[in-house]
Amino acid sequence: MPHAIAWIFESLLRLLLPARGRHRSPEPPPAARAADTPTVRLPRVPMLRGEDNRLVRPYLVAHERRQEEQKRRARRRALVLATYGVDIGPRRIHGVEVTA
pLDDT single digits (tens) 2-13: 678 888 888 888
Residue range 27-86, pLDDT digits in tens: 666 666 656 666 778 788 777 766 666 677 888 889 999 999 999 998 888 888 888 888
Residues 6+ apart with CB under 8 A from 87: 81, 100
With H, G, I as helix, E, B as strand and everything else as coil, classify residue 96. Answer: strand
Residue 95 DSSP label: T
pTM, two decimal places: 0.38
